[in-house]
Structure 1
Amino acid sequence: MNKFLSEKLVVISFISILLVVFLHAYGPDVTLKSNSGSLGFFYLLQLFLSQVIARIAVPSFFFVSGYLFFINYYPNKRSYIDKLRKRVKSIVLPYLLWSVFSFAIFYVLQSLPPFSRFFSKDLLTSYSLEQIVGRIILRPIAYQLWFLKDLFLLCIISPALYFLTKKSYGIWIVILAFFWSLNYSFFYIVRIESLLFFSSGSLFAIYFKHVLVKTNDNSLFTKSILLIWIILSGLNSYFIGAGTSNEGITLLYKLGIIVGMLSLWNLYDLLYAKNLIKQFSFFSNSFFIYVFHEPVLTMIKKGLMSVFGVTSISKFCVYLIAPVSTIVIGVFLAFFIKKKYPKVYGFITGGR
């Protein structure tokens, strides 16, 4: 992989992490209607950012992960075992570590009277040992960890994915895209979205790796695709807010995700061509922010709501302040741990 693509993947991963935090900051209890009965501005803006724009983040992660997994993939037992061994360190161990951490944090908070009032459901203090183990392994408190679980399962079945992609020349991915576009899932090991975009990454690693290492500085194309994405995002936000749902709306929503991913990818190239992209050291902290942001984000939201009260404006302020605060805390904490305890940082981030 050349330097350009390596730096590009780092930046896109960091942007995707920021989008994930805002996605999880979404609060569906924001007032839906204004006094005139129309959709409220704060509600629409929150939908636009979290439920439409930010939805490109997870597919982007799986695409990048699939590409990186298969870029130097050899269909033999030794290569397969070697890759799985590395993923145990980079995926499984962080998954278990952060799952235990998030469970412990919530358990302690629910046990302390000053904080227990913030929890009315899912009381961990009443769990049996079997429930605790199940919650840590299968349903982490830090719910964003589902991505790591799906990712490792995809790595396990990677020989089958390689065979299907190689032999069908990617045709089977088109079939996956068709079912994904209709919200139909027939694959019960992982989410179909995970399977589709991880496999799409494998397609580019196997057949089109030369495409990704080139810059596309076509300004007109990039600006056009960005404009289309903004228009699609506005329409999708309105349809979601209005509760409009049919196959056409679903297809429009999924099209918006694909166009959004393409927009982000090409926007980087355009900014790079104009020397407007700089590499900052905190870009490399993406994984830490990802595993750290929950349950911290939820705790900050609960704390801010208790201070600001419950109004439409206060909810929206919390929606903006909580994710930004979480990201800033995550960046500074990552820098601190990495500088003071580099081995600890490496362990909790799977060697990243």
Structure 2
Amino acid sequence: MTRMPKHPGEAAPSRGNGAALRRLASGEWHQARGAGHGPPGHAPNAADLSRTIEIARVLLVIGLVFLHYGAIPPGWVSPFRGVDPASPHRVASFVNSAVLFFFFSAVPLLSTISGWLFFRFGEDRPWPALRRRMRARVRSLYAPLVVWNTIFLLALLAVHATGEGASLTRQMNIDLGHADAMAYVNAVLALTDHPVAFQFWFVRDLFLTVLLSPLLWLSLRQAPWLGALVLGGAWVMDWNLVVFFRADVPFFFYLGALARLRGYLPMPGRGATSALVTLYVALVLLRVSAPLLVDVDAPGTAWWLDFATRAMRPVGVLACWGVCLRIAAASWSGTVARHGNFAFFLHATHYPLIAAVKLVLWHLLPSETDAWLLAHYAASVAVTVLLSFGAAKSIAAASPGLYTFLAGGRDIRAPSRA
């Protein structure tokens, strides 16, 4: 854990500063010049840290695409249980479940980054800054959520009207045959239930966390560790605080904010990152193997497995952050980081796109072997990402303003910055 000055100044943007990135990844840091004039807890080498954040956004959202592939046909056994002991394709089942559990760290790390970035303002006039940020998040989070879910709902209604696509429509988060008025409201607005494009649960919870940021600010200033204890306790006990879909978002958002305001930033070096990744992979493999070791249907077992799965996530957050730091230190890191402005668009479009791609590619499978099932898995994710990227480029070329809105305020033509 790197200790930073309480009020370091803004770091000047780096231009190809590979040496600074390598120092960043190895755990070294430098105090920015002009201390005392910048936001509290601001990281040294801010532009280099920004590159790491953009890399994290891209890779973690691609990880979510893998995660939302779901069950492997033809058995369709949920990978959330772990490896399927009864599957004739146990290798494919194991790999699918392992990748899914590995990327369970994506939402916590993205939430932590969001909390870190949200509170990058001075302490002299916090309330105007909070109001500005809350208004900005209406445009960059909630408005795109409403528009995207409206598009998906209209498309789903059109497919449903044709009487075709039953395999696709039943995977969506609304039963059109039995939906009442509130179900349609939630399908678009996500007020009390998940929206039709269920991946937007994260955007909705993040927006709600932002709306509650004045309360978080008071806790961060007056009782920071009590706030962490309350939110952490809710997260550990799997209590979603009534208004959230999952407590991961407010808890890790709060941790990111607390780290920023206290002046701390985890900066694992090469050795620490290797140890964290090794530990996290071992925990993931153990969790995936649970159906081979215990009766997962026995009373009480599901709760303990869920608890163990949650307990892995902080390790995954540190491991994945360390990996992103190592990538940011590489000479080719800019190739990844410059696609940070595509991350929100990919998150918005990857489902139900991957469900449709998965069904189409399934008909091209020459045989049902572990190797071909894993090829189908990888191809489904790759095609989904490429189609989404192609759509992003086409929309941006036709209407840059429309793309920027649909991508949460991020212009695909502009250099990415956190």
Q: Same fold (TM over 0.5)?
A: yes
Q: What is the aligned partner in structure 1 of residue 345 from structure 2?
A: 288
Alpha-carbon shift at residue 287 of structure 1 (Å): 0.4
Distance 1:118 1:19, change over 3 A: closer
2:398 equivalent to 1:343: no
Aligned letter for 1:231? A
Q: What is the aligned partner in structure 2 of residue 207 from structure 1?
A: 262
Q: What is the aligned partner in structure 1 of residue 281 from structure 2?
A: 230
Q: Deviations over 1:268-321 (max 9, x none)?
A: 333444545334432320000000111211222233335549957565544332
- Mapped to 2, the partners of 1:118 and 1:207 lie a distance apart of 47
- Can you give the 5+ residue segments of structure 1 that lack an aligned partner in the other structure? none
Q: What is the aligned partner in structure 2 of residue 162 from structure 1?
A: 217
2:107 equivalent to 1:72: no
Q: What is the aligned partner in structure 2 of residue 100 from structure 1?
A: 150
Among candidates 120, 124, 135, match of residue 85 of structure 1? 135
Q: Secondary structure in 2 aligned to 1:78?
A: helix
Among candidates 307, 311, 322, match of residue 380 of structure 2? 322
Distance 1:133 1:220, change over 3 A: closer
- Mapped to 2, the partners of 1:34 and 1:129 lie a distance apart of 41
Confirm or deny: 8 A CA contact 1:27 1:319 kept in the other structure. no
Aligned letter for 1:56? S
Aligned letter for 2:239? S
Distance 1:177 1:241, change over 3 A: farther
- Mapped to 1, the partners of 2:351 and 2:302 lie a distance apart of 33
Q: What is the aligned partner in structure 1 of residue 58 from structure 2?
A: 14
Alpha-carbon shift at residue 132 of structure 1 (Å): 2.6
TM-score of the superposition, structure 2-length normalised? 0.74
Aligned letter for 1:228? L
- Mapped to 2, the partners of 1:125 and 1:250 lie a distance apart of 32
TM-score of the superposition, structure 1-length normalised? 0.86
2:127 equivalent to 1:62: no
- Can you give the 5+ residue segments of structure 2 that lack an aligned partner in the other structure? 1-41, 78-82, 411-418
- Structure 1 residues 139-178: aligned runs within 5 Å: 139-178=194-233
Q: Report percent identity of matched pairs.
A: 19
Aligned letter for 1:185? W
- Mapped to 1, the partners of 2:327 and 2:240 lie a distance apart of 40
Alpha-carbon shift at residue 4 of structure 1 (Å): 0.8
Number of aligned positions between the proteins? 344
Q: What is the aligned partner in structure 1 of residue 187 from structure 2?
A: 135
Alpha-carbon shift at residue 336 of structure 1 (Å): 2.5
Further displaced range: 271-280 or 119-128: 119-128
Confirm or deny: 8 A CA contact 1:296 1:326 kept in the other structure. yes
Aligned letter for 2:381? P
Q: What is the aligned partner in structure 2 of residue 259 from structure 1?
A: 315
Q: Deviations over 1:253-282 (max 9, x none)?
A: 333211111111112333444545334432
Confirm or deny: 8 A CA contact 2:327 2:333 kept in the other structure. yes
Among candidates 112, 127, 135, match of residue 162 of structure 2? 112
Alpha-carbon shift at residue 131 of structure 1 (Å): 4.2
Q: What is the aligned partner in structure 2 of residue 269 from structure 1?
A: 325
- Mapped to 1, the partners of 2:181 and 2:310 lie a distance apart of 41
Distance 1:118 1:343, change over 3 A: closer
Further displaced range: 143-152 or 108-117: 108-117
Aligned letter for 2:214? P
- Mapped to 2, the partners of 1:106 and 1:82 lie a distance apart of 36
Aligned letter for 2:325? D
Q: What is the aligned partner in structure 2 of residue 33 from structure 1?
A: 85
Confirm or deny: 8 A CA contact 2:344 2:408 kept in the other structure. no
Among candidates 392, 399, 405, match of residue 334 of structure 1? 392
Aligned letter for 2:241? F
Aligned letter for 1:349? A
- Mapped to 1, the partners of 2:302 and 2:165 lie a distance apart of 43
